[in-house]
A and B are shown apart, each in its own frame.
Chain A
Amino acid sequence: MRHTCRLSILTFMTILLFTGTAVAQSPGPYAGLFAGGNVPGSSTASDGGGDFGISFTPSIQGSAVLGWNLEPGSSVGEGRVELEYSHRSNRLDRVTFVEGSVAGGGELTSDSLLFNCFAVSREEGQYHPYLGVGAGVARVVAANLTVSGQPFSNDSSIVFAYQAGIGLDINLTDRLTLDLGYRFFATSPVRFTEASGQILEMGYASHAAVIGIKAGF
């Protein structure tokens, strides 16, 4: 995970070197689309039999945002607020029991709707670093999860979700902004019913590096 963060930061620095002259970002509404790669964190899971580990494979994710750039010098602060829908889907990779790790299967999908608040540095120039947090809900689906090919869980759960984000807005024109960011996304414990009838409880979190384009209107 640390490697992912370093890679993201390195990407930002590289773009900083090759971008052009300053363009002011316009206040008002905007819409955007994001894509990126996410790496779910290995998490602990538990059921009536005890604790065990679950890991998922990295995957791509997509997001759409609808937001509002606040006026520079706004009384509520400089930045933006937005509503973000994201979709993530990761394959169950390994499940670790007392006897060791075995192969998993099936997809763990999450669709989240978050309200984000980002503080943006509006200083002169083309590059505007930002950071912020968001909260909302997520529907997490265990789609035909298997362990060693055996049915494990096929269920869904709606849970509280939150994220923290950091990144860099690069103003391409006065209405078009390139967004390079990192997102840490997590939910409250997710509960699924296992094929055996036991209740599975697991944590869900992911790290993502995203790139997006936002258009003001």
Chain B
Amino acid sequence: MIKLFRAGLLCMLLLCGCSWDGTPTRSNDITPLTSIVITADYSSIAAKTSMPFKAMGNYSGEFSRDITDRVTWTSDTPARAAFNNPSYPSRISGLTAGAVQVTASVGTITSSTTVTVTSATISLVTLSPTTPSVAQGLSATFTAQGTFSDSSHQDITFDATWTSGTPAVATIGTTPAPIVSVTSKTLGTTQITATFDGKSDSTTLTVTAPVLQSIAVSSKNGATSLPTMSKLGFTASGTYSNGVVADVTSQVTWSSDSSTLATIDTTGTVTALSPGTATITATLGTIAGSAPLKATGGTLSSFTLSPATVSLVKNFGTFVTATGSFSNGTSRDISRVLSWRPADASFVNVSSSSINSTWLKPLKATTTTSGIVITATAPATAESAKTATTNVTVTDLTASLNTVTLSPGTVGVVAGAGSRLSLAANFNGSGQDVTAVATWSSSDTSKVTVENGVVFGGRITGVTAGNATVTASYGGKSDTSTIRVTAPVIQSLTISGPSSIVAGNQFAYSATVLYGDGSQINVTDLTSCSWSVDKANVAVLATALSQPGQFVAVDVGTATITATFGGLTKTAAITVTGN
């Protein structure tokens, strides 16, 4: 009961706080207008000039409001001074010398004042500013002051005639107070002239180079979310005063408001570190633009390198990949964000690439059985940086190369699809895969193509029906494989993979083609099979290059995965969930 009583008391206190503290949006049209106060810049004006009046309404002494546009303006002697400009009903024009009574009225409430029209004539027109300049695309404002024969001064900006000597550089605007609008795309100068009743004044307006007005920041793939321990490039677009939008990515200074959530380098590449939302800012001079970036997928708990130990023959490299385990139970490849440090760089060269793997190239034979320790270090988060190691032993068997063997010796592929060949080297009985460093060629590239390089070396693709010979060479030795290309009709394309995945996990899709001859081929990693995902905030390609069909779940949502092969397209929905 006591607890119930306390809870009730708390509710009461909360209810006590309920009151209106908003901002009113309704104007008061109930309190009656009781009087009008007319104000003007001058009590007398010269003939041929004009002057605006202002009317302030007093509402029962409770408040006052500008009612210039609500009142009806009248002159008791329109032939002397009249409100004769329908576009500016509160502006009176002096016509002939003499006094007039001006009346402002709203219903039965009226107020009057007297204005005198003089016969003074213009003596001097003074234009300001005297040395104007404006950035291309922006506007400059000018005013004209008149000095009259009776030594009086009056603003004649409205009544003067304004011209631009070089309209291609700047033109006169049509707003009540003259505004020179720069419309030309070219820089230059123009003579701005104000003329009143035969008198004039001029000044030179200089149109200077356009200035940066704003910066828009966005990621290269349009995503605003990024899994931790991954990278994403940002771009900065500057909008200049002349309307031109230019890429200023390389000119801006990049910063992140939270170095524990995300860091950004000088090129605009962000590395997400810990879950949370950071603001990425690009600054150029006094102009800055920013964009939020949400880091997802948990905090890195640990990571492992694969392989943990590796024996290499000098000059034959291998890939090492790193798989991170995160606090939310997910795991994914983090190879691209690691920094690598061999214990002795003279033995092994470590090169990171744009793909999710790191290439180890042995330079000379190691001298100990334990080999060389290579340490990979993850970017530091709020916690200390995580590390993992792999041991590399290198032997130099260059002089003992006996044979190389290409396998398989005969391969059947269909046009548009392909397969992989591998080349093994035999060093006095010790085998070594040298596929990545071998030289590959096709006897007839119109039938079969073959790729070189550490990533796709040995990958063949059938072009048209027929036979071709693929040759792989290394160390002066070579071997061949016969490729038979057939061209059956593609019947269908199917893709398979998970329909639901937890954010932060890496997942795989595969694509299979059914041909008219009944054969089925997995085309997931073929060059001719392209993969895409439509919402980068939900899922992204792991890397299109080295991990075709592999994706990383970024943040909660549903995205569509698309695979295209041989003119056929297949889609599948992937739902990314939280954990």
Given A2, A97, A150, which contacts B26 in the complex, CB threshold below 8 Å?
A97
Q: Give A55 Cβ to nearest chain B Cβ, in Å.
A: 8
Cβ of B19 within 8 Å of any chain A Cβ, yes or no, is: yes
Most central of A2, A49, A99, A119 by chain B CB within 10 Å: A99
Given B16, B23, B60, which contacts A149 in the complex, CB threshold below 8 Å?
B60
Cβ of A158 within 8 Å of any chain B Cβ, yes or no, is: no
Nearest CB in chain A to that of B65: its residue: A99
Judging by beta carbons under 8 Å apart, are A42 and B20 in contact? yes
Given B5, B30, B62, which contacts A131 in the complex, CB threshold below 8 Å?
B5
Known: A5-B16, A148-B30, A184-B16. A100 touches B8 (CB 8 A): no
Which residues of B sit under 8 angstroms from A164, Cβ to Cβ? 8, 11-12, 15
Known: A46-B26, A53-B24, A182-B12. A148 touches B5 (CB 8 A): no
Judging by beta carbons under 8 Å apart, are A49 and B27 in contact? yes
Given A5, A43, A44, A49, which contacts B29 in the complex, CB threshold below 8 Å?
A49
Known: A41-B19, A42-B20. A47 touches B12 (CB 8 A): no
Most central of A47, A95, A102 by chain B CB within 10 Å: A102
Cβ of B286 within 8 Å of any chain A Cβ, yes or no, is: no
Q: Give B557 Cβ to nearest chain A Cβ, in Å.
A: 36
What is the interface of chain B mostly: helix, strand, loop, or mixed? loop
Known: A41-B19, A205-B18. A98 touches B12 (CB 8 A): no
Q: Give A7 Cβ to nearest chain B Cβ, in Å.
A: 11
Docked pose: A9 CA to B65 CA in angstroms: 46
Which residues of A sit under 8 angstroms from B353, Cβ to Cβ? none
Cβ of A152 within 8 Å of any chain B Cβ, yes or no, is: yes
Docked pose: A182 CA to B60 CA in angstroms: 40
Which residues of A sit under 8 angstroms from B65, Cβ to Cβ? 99
Judging by beta carbons under 8 Å apart, are A50 and B26 in contact? yes
Report the contact-size class of chain A (Cβ under 8 Å from the partner). Answer: 35 or more
Q: Give B36 Cβ to nearest chain A Cβ, in Å.
A: 16
Q: Give B92 Cβ to nearest chain A Cβ, in Å.
A: 28
Which residues of B sit under 8 angstroms from A9, Cβ to Cβ? 9
Judging by beta carbons under 8 Å apart, are B16 and A166 in contact? no
Given A46, A100, A150, A182, which contacts B63 in the complex, CB threshold below 8 Å?
A100
Given A4, A42, A53, A147, which contacts B30 in the complex, CB threshold below 8 Å?
A147
Judging by beta carbons under 8 Å apart, are B26 and A47 in contact? yes
Docked pose: A41 CA to B20 CA in angstroms: 8
Q: Give A93 Cβ to nearest chain B Cβ, in Å.
A: 13
Judging by beta carbons under 8 Å apart, are B20 and A44 in contact? yes
Which residues of B sit under 8 angstroms from A123, Cβ to Cβ? 1
Cβ of B31 within 8 Å of any chain A Cβ, yes or no, is: yes
Within 8 A of A (CB), among B31-47: 31-32
Given B11, B13, B15, B22, which contacts A51 in the complex, CB threshold below 8 Å?
B22
Known: A5-B12, A164-B12, A166-B12. A51 touches B24 (CB 8 A): yes
Docked pose: A43 CA to B15 CA in angstroms: 13
Judging by beta carbons under 8 Å apart, are A207 and B24 in contact? no
Which residues of A sit under 8 angstroms from B354, Cβ to Cβ? none
Given B4, B18, B26, B60, which contacts A52 in the complex, CB threshold below 8 Å?
B26
Cβ of A129 within 8 Å of any chain B Cβ, yes or no, is: yes
Cβ of B17 within 8 Å of any chain A Cβ, yes or no, is: yes
Judging by beta carbons under 8 Å apart, are B16 and A98 in contact? no
Known: A4-B16, A5-B16, A53-B22. A150 touches B32 (CB 8 A): yes
Cβ of A188 within 8 Å of any chain B Cβ, yes or no, is: no
Cβ of B53 within 8 Å of any chain A Cβ, yes or no, is: no
Q: Give A119 Cβ to nearest chain B Cβ, in Å.
A: 7
Which residues of A sit under 8 angstroms from B15, Cβ to Cβ? 164, 184, 207
Which residues of B sit under 8 angstroms from A51, Cβ to Cβ? 22-26
Known: A147-B30, A148-B31, A148-B59. A2 touches B8 (CB 8 A): no
Within 8 A of B (CB), among A111-126: 119, 121, 123
Cβ of A199 within 8 Å of any chain B Cβ, yes or no, is: no
Judging by beta carbons under 8 Å apart, are B4 and A131 in contact? yes
Judging by beta carbons under 8 Å apart, are A131 and B24 in contact? no
Cβ of A103 within 8 Å of any chain B Cβ, yes or no, is: yes
- Give a binary string over A121-150; 1 marks a CB under 8 Å from any B CB, 0 the rest: 101000001010000000000000001111
Cβ of A69 within 8 Å of any chain B Cβ, yes or no, is: no
Q: Give A165 Cβ to nearest chain B Cβ, in Å.
A: 8
Within 8 A of B (CB), among A30-55: 41-44, 46-47, 49-54
- Give a binary string over A3-14; 1 marks a CB under 8 Å from any B CB, 0 the rest: 011000100000
Cβ of A96 within 8 Å of any chain B Cβ, yes or no, is: yes
Nearest CB in chain A to that of B60: its residue: A148
Q: Give A112 Cβ to nearest chain B Cβ, in Å.
A: 17
Most central of B15, B24, B25, B65 by chain A CB within 10 Å: B24
Docked pose: A203 CA to B21 CA in angstroms: 13
Which residues of A sit under 8 angstroms from B62, Cβ to Cβ? 99-100, 102-103, 148
Judging by beta carbons under 8 Å apart, are B28 and A44 in contact? no
- Give a binary string over B178-189; 1 marks a CB under 8 Å from any A CB, 0 the rest: 000000000000
- Give a binary string over A57-98; 1 marks a CB under 8 Å from any B CB, 0 the rest: 000000000000000000000000000000000000001111
Which residues of A sit under 8 angstroms from B26, Cβ to Cβ? 46-47, 49-52, 97-98
Judging by beta carbons under 8 Å apart, are A129 and B59 in contact? no
Which residues of B sit under 8 angstroms from A41, Cβ to Cβ? 18-20
Judging by beta carbons under 8 Å apart, are A5 and B13 in contact? yes
Judging by beta carbons under 8 Å apart, are A53 and B59 in contact? no
Apart from A49-B29, A150-B32, A184-B12: 18 A-B pairs, beta carbons within 8 A = A5-B16, A41-B20, A43-B19, A44-B20, A46-B26, A49-B26, A50-B24, A53-B22, A96-B24, A99-B63, A100-B62, A121-B5, A123-B1, A148-B30, A148-B62, A164-B15, A166-B12, A203-B20
What are 13 A-B interface contacts by the 8 Å CB criterion? Answer: A2-B13, A4-B16, A42-B21, A51-B22, A97-B26, A97-B27, A98-B25, A99-B27, A99-B62, A131-B5, A166-B8, A182-B12, A207-B16
Chain B contact residues, CB within 8 Å of chain A: 1-2, 4-5, 8-9, 11-13, 15-32, 59-60, 62-63, 65
**Closest 4 A-B residue pairs measured CB to CB?**
A50-B26, A131-B8, A50-B25, A148-B31
